[in-house]
Amino acid sequence: MPFLHVTLHSAADLPSSDFSIVGGKSDPYVIFKLGSTKHRSPCIKNNLNPVWSPPEEYVFEVPDAASAVLNVEVYDLDTLNPDDLLATLVVPVAKFADEMDVSTLENYPLSVDSEFSSQKRHSTLHLEVCLKQMDDQEKRLFVWENESWSMGSGWKPTNTKERHQWSSYDDSATSKTFRLVVRKVVYWALDSYQTNILLCTSSDVGEHIST
Q: What does the pLDDT look like over 46-78, one tens digit per residue?
A: 999 999 999 999 999 999 999 999 999 999 998
What's phi and psi for 151, nearest 5 deg?
-65, -35
Query: How much is the pLDDT for 149?
Result: 66
Say whether pLDDT at 172 is over 90: no
Contact yes or no for 26/76 (Cβ under 8 A): yes
In the predicted model, what is the mean pLDDT of residues 175-187? 60
% of the chain residues with pLDDT over 70: 64
Q: Which residues lie below 8 Å from residue 163, measured CB to CB, with a gap of 6+?
A: 146, 171, 174
Query: How much is the pLDDT for 9?
Result: 98
Q: What's the rounded Cα separation, in Å, for the pair 146 and 10?
A: 52
| Confidence bin at 3 (pLDDT 50/70/90) | very high
Q: What's the rounded Cα separation, in Å, for the pair 163 and 165?
A: 7
Query: How much is the pLDDT for 179?
Result: 64
Q: Residue 109 pairs with which residues in a beta bridge?
A: 124
In the predicted model, what is the mean pLDDT of residues 95-111? 94
Over residues 125-162, the pLDDT tens digits come to 999 999 998 765 555 556 666 766 667 777 766 666 66
Of 80 and 33, the structure prediction assigns the larger pLDDT to 33
| Confidence bin at 108 (pLDDT 50/70/90) | very high
Query: How much is the pLDDT for 93?
Result: 97
Over residues 23-39, the pLDDT tens digits come to 678 999 999 999 999 99
Number of neighbours of residue 174 by Cβ within 10 angstroms: 21
- Counting other chains too, the contacts that 159-168 makes at CB distance below 8 Å and 24 or more residues apart are 167/143, 168/141, 168/142, 168/143, 168/144
Class of domain 2-133 (CATH, top level) = mainly beta
DSSP state of 198: E
Q: Average model confidence (pLDDT) for the chain?
A: 80
In the predicted model, what is the mean pLDDT of residues 104-125? 96
3-class SS of residue 97: helix
The ranges assigned to domains in the chain are: 2-133, 139-210
